[in-house]
Amino acid sequence: MACSNEVDDLPDGAGYGLWAIDHELHFLPLHLSLTIEQRVMMYFKDLDPVLHSQLRLAVMSILVSVQEAEFTLLKERTNATAGNLSVQINKLKEAGYIEVIKQFRDNYPQTLCRITGAGRLAFESYVNAIQSYLKPGKTG
């Protein structure tokens, strides 16, 4: 649908409303009958479902600051069980947000998790989306 910048350009007799969508103003026909929830969602960006999990978000928050961490450190900082943490790390790995390195150190198995470039970008986008939730209607 074309967007009009002038009220005079709108068809005669049509009921129009001024809506903010992605921080831009648009004249849209009132007959679209948007619900309040639909109008609110016009303001908000979708949140990444991979990061929208408390434990996965915690892991990513840690890795953003330290780049790489041992499984034991992540387990300690997140207070998660080994099994749950392992499942959530695997989901982050499948999404390409982290890489998992399994190796031996002094004859003991060691699992390292390292954030990827895609993971860093996804995390930044997630944080920006959350910030836009806190300031709807503001640009930038």
Domain boundaries, the chain: 7-43, 54-130
Task: Give counts: helices (H), strands (E), the chain.
Answer: 5, 5
Contact present, 24 and 83 (Cβ < 8 Å): no
Q: How confident is the model at residue 25 (pLDDT cuts 50, 70, 90)?
A: low
Q: How confident is the model at residue 16 (pLDDT cuts 50, 70, 90)?
A: low
Residues 53 and 95: their CA atoms lie apart, in Å, by: 13
Give Cα 98 to chain centroid, integer Å: 15
Residues 70 and 59: their CA atoms lie apart, in Å, by: 11
Please report, as a single letter, which amino acid is at residue 34: L
Q: How confident is the model at residue 109 (pLDDT cuts 50, 70, 90)?
A: very high
> What's the confidence (pLDDT) of residue 30?
53
Contact present, 52 and 66 (Cβ < 8 Å): no
* 3-class secondary structure, 113: strand
Residues 82 and 94: their CA atoms lie apart, in Å, by: 18
Residues 36-52, mean pLDDT to the nearest whole number: 69
Residue 85 has pLDDT above 50, yes or no: yes
Contact present, 119 and 97 (Cβ < 8 Å): yes
Topology of domain 54-130 in CATH is Arc Repressor Mutant, subunit A (1.10.10)
Q: Is the pTM of this model over 0.85?
A: no
Residues 56 and 36: their CA atoms lie apart, in Å, by: 31
CB atoms within 10 A of CB 116: 16
